[in-house]
Amino acid sequence: MTLLPEPRSPQALTFMDRVEQVLTAAPVHFVVIAIAVIWTLPTAGLLISSFRQPDALIESGWWTVFTPPLNLDQFHLGNYADVLAGQGMGQAFLNSLIITIPATVMPIEIATFAAYALAWMRFPGRQLLFVLIVGLLVVPLQMTLIPVLRAYNALGLSGTFLGVWLAHTGYGLPLGIYLLRNYIGTLPRNLIEAAAVDGASHLKIFTRIVVPLSTPAIASFAVFQFLWVWNDLLVALVYLGGNQNVAPVTLVLRNLVGDRGQDWHLLTAGAFISMIVPLLVFFALQRYFVRGLLAGSIKG
């Protein structure tokens, strides 16, 4: 029987060993860097185009800015000023925040309570209820648009922030309950039982133990829900209609494409404004994202 050589510590590696490791990993690093560059090119082009003069944007592509001699006169901030002030993007940006923040917080709160109940509370029909919730993940939301819109018209919720909050909450709950229930179900049983033996109620166990330990999963769902609501056009278009007072950035961008499709300097500036907040949210919660997705997928 042959024995595998024991791995050497980093201190024991010679210079040639380090060179061999670098050369072995070089192809993988090259492929990863190439994919990252290709993936980033459209965003870089959008950013550069948003700062160019309208005439320069029409006459040449964004990559020509790197050809010598470098002309800084073609860059300016006027595109952003025109979009924010003249095209209503500033108000739409605030409307998107007003829509997205409650439409993210509300399903997180409801889904976390429901996930705890499905994972640790015993009641008749618990498994059947969870199966039905998971089944809702495969139901297209387009099937609900007309019935919900009719109900909104009857209740006076059409064209209001409350109507969009409730719609996004309902659409996001199945995924949120599924992700959080799988994560909360993997928490140590001894910890939950010890708290119950000490006299802690379900509410205290939930607030003092489950929620702090479930931060990665909650953050992962928050990223999903925030990005989906912020980038949504269909739900806002159906339930808000033509009410420009509550229109988010996606509706304003859609109007810009329809009314001013030739003004690429405005479209690029407006598109990049709509990308800023999702990028900030993703990078802020990035360390929790993968942990929350993977932690509840494996038992043990």
> Would you tell me the crossing angle of helices 126-135 and 161-184 to the nearest 10 degrees?
120
User: What is the pTM (predicted TM-score) of this model?
Assistant: 0.79
User: In 10 A of CB 85, how many CB atoms?
Assistant: 11
- pLDDT-derived band at 13 (thresholds 50, 70, 90) equals low
Mean pLDDT of 187-207: 88
More confident residue, 78 or 1: 78
DSSP tag of 52 = B
User: In 10 A of CB 167, how many CB atoms?
Assistant: 24
52 beta partners: 75
Percentage of the residues of the chain whose pLDDT score is greater than 70: 83
More confident residue, 299 or 65: 65
Per-residue DSSP letters for 234-295? HHHHHHHTT-GGG--HHHHHHHHHHH-TT-HHHHHHHHHHHHHHHHHHHHHTHHHHHHHHHH
Q: Is 162 helix (H, G, I), strand (E, B) or coil?
A: helix
Query: Which pLDDT score, from 0 to 100, does residue 172 have?
Result: 93
Is pLDDT at 138 greater than 60 in this prediction? Answer: yes
Query: Which pLDDT score, from 0 to 100, does residue 300 have?
Result: 41
Mean pLDDT of 131-135: 90
Query: Which pLDDT score, from 0 to 100, does residue 43 have?
Result: 83
- Average pLDDT over all residues of the chain: 82
Mean pLDDT of 256-282: 76
Mean pLDDT of 61-67: 77
Mean pLDDT of 233-245: 84
Query: Which pLDDT score, from 0 to 100, does residue 110 have?
Result: 94
* Element containing residue 57 per DSSP (H, E): helix 54-59
Residue among 198, 183, 172 nearest 120 (CA): 183
Is pLDDT at 22 greater than 70 in this prediction? Answer: no
Query: Which pLDDT score, from 0 to 100, does residue 147 have?
Result: 92
> Of the ranges 24-38, 213-227, 280-294, which one carries the lowest mean pLDDT score?
280-294
**What is the domain partition of the chain in residue ranges?**
86-295
Mean pLDDT of 28-38: 85
Is pLDDT at 274 greater than 60 in this prediction? Answer: yes
User: In 10 A of CB 118, how many CB atoms?
Assistant: 21
Query: Which pLDDT score, from 0 to 100, does residue 251 have?
Result: 86
End-to-end, the C-alpha distance of the chain in Å comes to 32
Give the residue carrying structure tokens 């702090």: 212
Q: Burial code of 149-161, b = ≥16 C-beta within 10 A, e = fewer?
A: beebeeeebbbbe
Residues 6+ apart with CB under 8 A from 215: 288
> Of the ranges 55-64, 220-229, 239-248, which one carries the lowest mean pLDDT score?
55-64
75 beta partners: 52
What is the third-level CATH fold of 86-295?
MetI-like fold (1.10.3720)
Q: pLDDT by residue (tens digit) across 76-119?
A: 787 888 877 776 778 888 999 999 999 999 999 999 999 999 99
